[in-house]
Amino acid sequence: MGAVACPPDGRFAPSPSGPLHLGNLRTALLAWLFARRARARFLVRIEDLDPGRSRRAHEAGQLADLRRLGLDWDGDVVRQSERRERHRAALEQLRASGRVYPCWCSRAEIREAASAAHGPLADGAYPGTCRRLGAAARAEREASGRPAALRLDAGGERIGFVDRLHGPVEAVVDDLVLWRNDGTPAYNLAVVVDDADQRIGEVVRGDDLLETTPRQLLVGRLLGVPAPRYAHVPLVLGADRQRLAKRHGAVTLDDLAAARGPRAASDALAWIAHSLGLASAREAVTPALLLARFDPAALPREPALFDAAAVLSV
């Protein structure tokens, strides 16, 4: 993997399927801190690939919440849904290399195939079922009328990188989906194209996406684009140690505003800062103050546990 050619510009790229919760806002703040500490640009991209779940109202609310927290960004907000031609061009580039094949597997068939043992691939990986189809079987599926997704033949490649927080990471890449069977680009293709076009040099995001990063690095290498650096940051979990969600209480700025009024954003920022070791409990902070204190090497490596009562008592 070659050296990073892009400046350390960063981004926050939410999906507009609902309001941002404190875990999302914590990641947004970290992405902003990484970029601003490097004196780089910080961009916002709306990842609205799923038309069934994406809403402009959610997008507007998310941008408003970033402003309420005191985060700024450079340039215009970009929507993935408006970049379909670029995604299609990247798909055709990969198709021309002979590494793309149709996949008719249903979700149930994929789960069944992924549950079987298949060599060096990780549990749950797609083992290339449709790649191994003979001509007759492929013709039968084509004639069935079932829409096909398009997958990348990853060739069982082992891809490694060094994460800013997790250190060396390596995995064998499975045959990932590039284009969904509903006619929309898959995340692992779109995110690579969009990061490259926006010249993102450092991707800061939740560590739930750590395992998919080798897939994206392989796609980027095949497309001939520079590889960004990565910092996968710990998530915020509820008291049940599951990913933060609405069931955990006052998890959004609007939830907090209902209880705390105009103090909601400052309370949220204070809790986030304390969870990152950047402030003492109940300390009033601003993004500028946190930037002056920020040291990526000192970030906690464990997930933060959310307690609505603790936030409301700040």
Token pair recorded at residue 17: 């399927």
* Integer angstrom CA distances of residue 38 from 35, 41, 70, 86: 5, 9, 18, 29
What residue numbers bound the domain in which 17 lies?
A: 10-76+234-312
Return the bridge partners of 252, or none: 21
Q: Let me know whether 94 and 177 are in one domain.
A: yes
Final residue before a domain boundary, out of 190, 205, 223: 190
Q: Are 44 and 139 in the same domain?
A: no
Residue-wise pLDDT for 201-231, tens only, equals 999 999 999 999 999 999 999 999 999 999 9
Convert the pLDDT of each residue in 254-297 to its tens digit. 988 888 888 889 999 999 999 999 999 889 999 999 999 999 99
Look at the chain and report how many structural domains it folds into: 2
pLDDT tens-digit readout, 133-175: 999 999 999 998 889 999 999 999 999 999 999 999 999 999 9
187-197 helix and 213-223 helix, angle to the nearest 10 degrees: 60
Distance CA 305, CA 75 (A): 34
Counting Cβ atoms within 10 Å, is residue 198 exposed (0-12), middle (13-18) or buried (19+)?
middle
Q: Are 75 and 41 in contact (CB under 8 A)?
A: yes
Which residue stretches of the chain are H helix?
A: 22-37, 56-69, 84-96, 107-115, 135-144, 187-197, 213-223, 253-260, 264-275, 287-293, 308-312
CATH of the domain at 46: 3.40.50.620
Residues 242 and 286 in one domain: yes
> What average pLDDT is seen over the chain?
91
Q: Within a domain: residue 196?
A: no
Q: Is residue 206 part of a domain?
A: no
Residue 163 is part of a domain; what is its CATH number? Answer: 3.90.800.10
Is 112 found in the same domain as 57?
no
Give domain status of residue 211, yes or no.
Answer: no
Residues 124 and 162 grouped into a single domain: yes
For the chain, give the number of residues: 314
Whether 221 maps to a domain, the answer reads no
Are residues 72 and 22 part of one domain? yes
